[in-house]
Structure 1
Amino acid sequence: MKRSMLMNSERTEGVRKVSAPEIEEWGRARGVFFPLDFVEFLSEFGGIYPDEEWGYQFIPEGENYPEFADMAYFLHFDKRVGRHSVGEAYESHFLSWNQPLLIPFSASEINVYAALNFEESRRNPSVYNVEVFVQSKIDPDRSSMTWLADSFTEFLEILETEDDFDARHGEVYRF
């Protein structure tokens, strides 16, 4: 994904850009160190709704076919606005699911997020598609995470439009 493609996108109402030091401090307060590329990207594009249908391919748990996760928006770090914020998603979904080392940064549909996974390393997180369901809270060991990339930069490189995904895989409807 070229960052220039996000330049004219709309931002969540009331959200302002947040400085890199504020984002870094948010992570440090939770015992993790955000990668520089992540900090720079979210300080510029946090709260953005991509103009086009950008998303990523993943293979859901227990399946053997790829699906497309259409990214609705990037979460933001603006403390003044709760809607679509990293803090709100983290507190409401990830902490209540007892997953303090997963930090969401974009949402694709209800309770589905792309998240940094700091479980292996507090400084070099990988990126996962995370489905947070009520069942997950009952059974925290339930697998609902799908690996996407080894780094945030690699995650940005796998982003594509839904049209590109459909051109490779065809439109598939599953019921």
Structure 2
Amino acid sequence: MNEEVTFVIDSAREAMDKAIAHLEKELVKIRAGKASPSMLSSVMVDYYGSQTPLSQVSNVNTPDARTISVQPWEKAMIPVIETAIMNANLGFNPMNNGEMVIINVPPLTEERRLQLVKQAKAEAEDAKVGVRSARQEANKDIKNLDISEDLEKNAEIDIQELTDDYTARIDKILHNKEAEILKV
């Protein structure tokens, strides 16, 4: 196989890796029953006029499986953090004890679990779309190269095999997340 074809296939693989990395990042945000500091990773706090990630203005811990504690580095930030958590629309009701913000993570209802599975499936479908568009882009690049027909066909077969492999990986990741969400 010539260098140009190898480059196109490597570029497609890189784009597909990015789609899987994005999927994994999004699935971490979908909670599966037990508390995790990553549940608050999307929360932005108004820190002296600029939007700052919660983890940069406080220490986020999970003392037990049902509780998240947020210990701000400045006590004046407690009400701001509470407001930011409520505005993030994560379904949490934060409380403060004067020292820190405490969030009790409620157990998931069956209905909520099914909603989360649906959300996970949507994220997986987005990842598959990313993989397929990487395939489409690679096939277009292969057609634009000045190579023999046989080499072009072989490259398209390799790209399709790569696509099938990444699609199977996405399905496996989704299956594992579904099992995690539905486990009571």
Q: Where on the TM-score scale, by shorter chain, does this alignment land: which range?
A: under 0.3
Name whichever structure is richer in strand by fraction.
Answer: 1
Larger Cα-atom Rg = 2
TM-score, reference length from structure 2? 0.22
Name whichever structure is richer in helix by fraction.
Answer: 2
TM-score, reference length from structure 1? 0.23
